[in-house]
Amino acid sequence: MSDNASLFIRSGEPAGVVARWLCGALGLERAAGAGDGEVGLRGRAVTVDDGWLGFIVRPNGYADVDPGPEDVQAMDGYPVEVDIRFGGRDDDVLKAEGKAAFERVVAVRPDLAVLLCHNLSLLVAAYLPGVGIKYFGPGTTPDAQDEGTWGPWVRG
């Protein structure tokens, strides 16, 4: 499985609308290859001289509407996912590209809460409107076991 970065966005807008404003925010263009209910986008890498990133904007399929205490995840309550891939290339570049996309989205849409995850297993950062950005320490998961760390930054 290839590495990915994911943005989770708390927005009342459907994925297609989020994809439209992401095109302007990140300088992306439409791309083929997305499934039903998904929008495919692509754009140039910003942290290295050469390379393209693929973006899939879709409804968040990982969210649980009413999770039990052991099933809580940071991305619950964030209805849109933006899956970012860098063609199986350098994982450090993907991490830098994910962070750059996260920061640009926050700058363009400071009214929306946004999470940055790596491979869905690490919670890298969270942004809450009016509060700011929090970068989490290495090994912080989006899972219930780390809710004490991320809860105030994810739920507000």
User: Looking at residue 37, what is its pLDDT?
Assistant: 82
For 74, other C-beta atoms within 10 Å of its C-beta total 26
Separation CA 9–CA 18 (nearest Å): 9
User: Looking at residue 136, what is its pLDDT?
Assistant: 98
User: Looking at residue 102, what is its pLDDT?
Assistant: 97
Task: Encode the chain (156 residues) as per-residue pLDDT tens digits.
Answer: 468 899 999 999 999 999 999 999 999 999 876 677 899 999 998 888 878 899 999 999 887 777 777 889 999 999 999 999 887 566 788 899 999 999 999 999 999 999 999 999 999 999 999 999 999 999 999 999 999 999 999 986
User: Looking at residue 34, what is its pLDDT?
Assistant: 66
User: Looking at residue 49, what is its pLDDT?
Assistant: 80
Range of the domain at 108: 5-155
Here the CATH number for the domain that contains residue 31 is: 3.30.310
> How far from 5 is each of 27, 87, 146, 149, CA to CA, in Å?
18, 12, 19, 20
Residues whose CB is less than 8 angstroms from the CB of residue 18 and which lie 6 or more positions away in sequence, other chains included: 9, 11, 57, 80, 82
**Model pTM?**
0.93
| 97's tokens | 């590209």
Q: How many domains are there within the chain? A: 1
